[in-house]
Amino acid sequence: MNSYHAWLDRLLTTEAPSLQQSDRKWWRIRILSFLKYCREYPETHGHEVVHIAKGYLSSLTEDPAQKSWQIDQARECLRVFIRGIENWHWDQGKPRFRVKTRFSSYGNGVDLNESTLSSSKSQKKEQPDSSTHPIPIDWKQKLLKSLRVQHYARRTEQSYVSWSLRFVKFCENQNNASVCFPQDARHYLEQLATQSKVTAATQNQAFSALLFFHRTLWNEDLQDMRSTIRARRSTHLPTVLSAQEIRTILKHLTGTMRMISELLYGCGLRVSECVNLRIKDVDFTRMTVEVRAGKGRKDRFVMLPNTTAPALQEHLARCQALWETDRTNNQPGVALPDALERKMPKAGKTWPWFWVFPSKNISRDPLSNVMRRHHIHASSVQKALQNAAAKAKIPRRVTCHVLRHSFATQLLENGTDIRTVQELMGHTNLETTQIYTHVMKKPGLGTKSPLDV
């Protein structure tokens, strides 16, 4: 095993010189785990190393114990490993390879195991540090087409186009209408951090947009940039209001805005999920609300608060009168998701598909360019809630998401099982829900300070 470590240390020193010493041990473990995978799984025998690597990473993806950052780490380790070897072949059911010339004194014929998602042939040659590409005139149309083909959310589409536009302007100032990767990406992200003072989450969002931008326009992936540019995200505890504070805020809200705020707090909805509700999503018989295509395009059911139900029924009666007016005026139906407008062309004019919170005015649909009735805008809810919090003299920043945080925290404080809270919140990982255990009331927080004793 010492010979393994000697060769791996030399490989990592040469191929990943920026790797920190504390991470070197885990990279060795990942590569040795890959070698073990190759020996133990017969279905890998006879295949190219890149093909096996893909299978290995797929097995990690299917393992619920593996976190996303661990899979990214394994992918980067194997990319470096494959770049440093040559002459991959099989001998008596075992994979063999030679290290490249600069490592020739460190061994040959090493058994190999798991797989990688790196590109194959391009990694056998030394990759240049950068490549310069002219910026296409129709880059925005290509980017939008790729985003919609892959069914990205509307908000993600807007975000990626916005970051790409800023990056293109940055490159035009630097390189006269050309993009030099990865240098320009690094310089731009450094500028965001040092001059614009953006948070780590914002910087990572910009980085994801640049990766998609480059992959779409030039069909090149920048996997080697993932470990060198990603900003380390800090852990922030959510702002949570007490039940009394929320009741005080609700007193300063009326009509539709109060109803939406009650649903945000009483159902744990995101503001985008609430304003996108349709008539068919509210079931007064079962007292449930069905959230369609929430974050991550996931559906879920949440409870409908009993105290909100009567006011919501009166509100829907007024909405039905508005819907009948649209039908009398022969207005186009509301927008439908995906291809439903083509499959069911008359569904947009039916009552079940009408908005629970429709806008008062007719506006132009940005996707279809049709003048129709849209739902109420989320920004109007945010402004109304902030004005109510100011009138209630709440000394904290109150947003729509704070009501969602308060919903989850107070459920946990009342003894609700954390798995139930996870399902109601629509979280993919339990770790996301566990953040609320750090802000809920605990017996230890009632302990007196030594200064007060």
Q: Please say if the pLDDT value at position 450 is more than 80.
A: no
Phi, psi (deg, nearest 5) at residue 274: -70, -50
User: Do residues 41 and 106 make contact, with C-beta atoms less than 8 angstroms apart?
Assistant: no
Reported as a pLDDT band with limits 50, 70 and 90, residue 6 is low
Annotation marks residue 318 as catalytic? no
Average pLDDT over residues 431-444: 79
Better-predicted residue by pLDDT, 253 or 57? 253
In this prediction, residue 224 carries a pLDDT of 53
Of 56, 160, 188, 436, the catalytic one is 436
Burial class from Cβ neighbours inside 10 Å (0-12, 13-18, 19+) for residue 157 reads middle
Which tens digits make up the pLDDT trace of 91-115? 766 777 766 644 333 333 333 333 3
Of 270, 278, 373, 405, the catalytic one is 270
Peptide bond into 182 cis (omega under 30): yes
Average pLDDT over residues 242-260: 94
Better-predicted residue by pLDDT, 216 or 425? 425
* Single pTM value for the model: 0.63
Annotation marks residue 270 as catalytic? yes
In this prediction, residue 311 carries a pLDDT of 94
Annotation marks residue 247 as catalytic? no
Annotation marks residue 215 as catalytic? no
Q: Please say if the pLDDT value at position 123 is more than 50.
A: no
In this prediction, residue 257 carries a pLDDT of 95
Average pLDDT over residues 184-196: 80
Average pLDDT over residues 56-65: 81
Of 30, 54, 405, 427, the catalytic one is 427
With a pLDDT cut of 70, the percent of the chain lying above it is 79
In this prediction, residue 187 carries a pLDDT of 80
Q: Please say if the pLDDT value at position 15 is more than 70.
A: no
Q: Please say if the pLDDT value at position 192 is more than 80.
A: yes
Cα gap 354→323, rounded to integer Å: 7
